[in-house]
C-alpha cells in the first residue's frame, strides 16, 4: 500500500506558498518492537504549526526540510507490536500530515469512539480544549464574576474559553471574530453577552462599546491591535493570558508592541504567556469537568471539516486566513 505524506521543502517567508510543500508517496511503515501502525482517520491543523516551519529558535523543534511534518491525529490501529494496544483500538498521537503512522505505544493514547466522536479528541476534548481550560483557569486566574474578553473567539480555543467562562459564572463574556456570521454564532449559540466583527471598525472602539465597565480577563489569540485594545480596557488587577498571536505569524518584520503598556502600572495588570504542554497535569480535571458539559450540550462546539489528505495544506492555510469556524479538521 502507498502512504501519502506531506513534506516541507523550504522554509516559508511571509505567507506559506504551495511550492514550499510536497505531497509525497512513500511505503507504509512496518511497526517495530513496542510500536503500533495507525491508519489515521482525522488530522489536526493548528496555527502553531506556522512557527515550526521556521528555523527560528522556539519552544519546539522546527520541522525538518525534506521530511514529513507532524501534528495531532487520531486513527485506528491496523497492526500492533505492543502490549496494551490491540488491532481495532483507536488512538490519539502526534504523527499527522500522513495517512499511516508507526507510533511508539508510549506516545499513543487510547480513545473511545463510543464515548465521543473521534474528531472531538483533536478539538473540544483534546489539546485545544485543554488549552482553553488551562489558559483561562490557571494562567488568567479566572474567578466567578470576572468580565472576560476573548479574541479569535469563533476559533477552536476561543469559543471554548468564552463558554467555560460563562459556565463558571463570568459577569460578562465578549468575543471578537472576523465575520458577521461568526459574531452571530458567538452570541446566539455560544452564549456570549456581546461580540463584534473586528473588520468592521477599530478594535479599541468596538471593545469599549462592548465592555463599558472594562475587562478583568483577556484571552489573547490574535495580538496586535486586539492586545492594545484589551490593555486599554483592563480593570484593576486585570490579567491577560497570551495563547497565540496569529496576526503576526506571517510577518516578515518584527511587529511593534502595544503603545499603552504603561497602563499596566495604573491597573496593576499582568500579562503572561503559556503553553498547554506545561499544564497536562490538568488533563484529568479537564475531562471530568468539560466532558459532561459537552455530553449535555451545555458547551457547544463547531468543526470545519476538509476531506482528503491532498487538501491538508489548504486546510492549514485556511486556519491562518480564519476560514474555519471552530476546530479545523482534515478527514481521511
Confidence band of 268 (pLDDT split at 50, 70, 90): very high
> Does the CA dihedral 12-152-142-127 come out positive or negative?
negative
Distance CA 20, CA 266 (A): 46
Paired residues of 220 in beta bridges: 242
CB neighbourhood size of 82 (10 A): 18
Question: Which tens digits make up the pLDDT trace of 118-170?
Answer: 999 999 999 999 999 999 999 999 999 999 999 999 999 999 999 999 999 99
- Rg of the chain in Å (alpha carbons): 20
Please give the C-alpha separations between residue 173 and each of 61, 161, 212, 218, 282, in angstroms, as whole numbers. 36, 10, 12, 10, 23
Place of cell 466532558: 291
Distance CA 96, CA 313 (A): 12
Distance CA 43, CA 73 (A): 4
Distance CA 177, CA 199 (A): 8
pLDDT at residue 46, rounded to an integer: 93
Paired residues of 210 in beta bridges: none
Paired residues of 270 in beta bridges: 239
Name the E strands within 251-326: 270-273, 303-307
274: CB partners within 8 A, 6+ apart: 134, 135, 138, 139, 241, 242, 243
Distance CA 283, CA 125 (A): 10
Q: Is the pLDDT of residue 252 over 70?
A: no
Q: Is the pLDDT of residue 190 over 90?
A: yes
Confidence band of 263 (pLDDT split at 50, 70, 90): very high
- pTM for the full predicted model: 0.87
Question: Do residues 255 and 246 lie in contact, with contact meaning Cβ atoms separated by under 8 Å?
Answer: no
In three-state secondary structure terms, 249 is coil
Distance CA 5, CA 70 (A): 10
Distance CA 105, CA 124 (A): 24
pLDDT, averaged across the chain: 95
Confidence band of 115 (pLDDT split at 50, 70, 90): confident
Section 74-83 average pLDDT: 97
Distance CA 22, CA 37 (A): 23
CB neighbourhood size of 34 (10 A): 14
Amino acid at each position: 500500500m502507498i502512504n501519502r505524506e506531506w513534506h516541507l521543502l523550504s522554509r516559508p517567508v511571509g505567507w506559506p506558498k504551495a511550492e514550499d510543500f510536497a505531497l509525497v508517496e512513500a511505503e507504509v511503515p512496518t511497526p517495530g518492537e513496542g510500536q503500533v501502525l495507525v491508519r489515521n482517520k482525522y488530522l489536526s491543523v493548528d496555527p502553531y504549526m506556522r512557527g515550526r516551519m521556521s528555523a527560528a529558535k522556539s519552544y519546539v523543534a522546527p520541522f525538518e526540510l525534506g521530511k514529513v511534518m507532524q501534528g495531532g491525529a487520531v486513527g485506528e490501529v491496523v497492526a500492533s507490536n505492543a502490549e496494551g494496544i490491540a488491532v481495532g483500538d483507536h488512538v490519539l498521537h502526534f504523527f499527522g500530515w500522513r495517512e499511516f503512522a508507526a507510533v511508539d505505544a508510549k506516545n499513543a493514547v487510547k480513545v473511545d469512539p463510543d464515548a465521543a466522536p473521534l474528531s472531538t479528541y483533536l478539538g473540544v476534548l483534546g489539546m485545544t480544549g485543554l488549552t482553553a481550560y488551562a489558559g483561562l483557569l490557571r494562567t488568567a486566574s479566572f474567578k466567578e464574576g470576572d468580565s472576560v474578553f476573548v479574541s479569535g473567539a469563533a476559533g477552536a480555543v476561543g469559543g471554548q474559553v468564552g463558554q467555560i467562562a460563562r459556565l463558571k459564572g463570568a459577569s460578562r463574556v465578549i468575543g471578537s471574530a472576523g465575520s458577521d456570521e461568526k459574531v452571530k454564532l458567538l452570541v446566539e449559540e455560544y452564549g456570549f453577552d456581546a461580540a463584534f466583527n473586528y473588520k468592521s471598525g477599530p478594535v479599541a472602539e468596538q471593545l469599549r462599546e462592548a465592555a463599558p465597565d472594562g475587562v478583568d480577563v483577556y484571552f489573547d489569540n490574535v495580538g496586535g491591535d486586539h492586545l492594545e485594545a484589551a490593555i486599554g480596557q483592563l480593570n484593576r488587577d486585570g490579567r491577560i493570558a497570551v495563547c497565540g498571536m496569529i496576526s503576526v505569524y506571517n510577518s516578515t518584520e518584527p511587529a511593534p508592541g502595544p503603545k499603552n503598556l504603561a497602563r499596566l502600572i495604573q491597573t496593576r495588570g499582568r500579562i503572561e504567556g503559556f503553553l498547554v504542554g506545561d499544564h497536562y497535569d490538568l488533563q484529568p480535571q479537564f475531562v471530568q469537568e468539560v466532558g459532561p458539559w459537552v455530553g449535555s450540550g451545555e458547551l457547544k462546539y463547531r468543526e470545519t471539516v476538509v476531506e482528503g489528505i491532498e487538501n491538508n495544506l489548504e486546510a492549514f492555510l485556511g486556519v491562518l486566513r480564519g476560514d474555519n469556524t471552530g476546530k479545523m479538521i482534515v478527514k481521511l
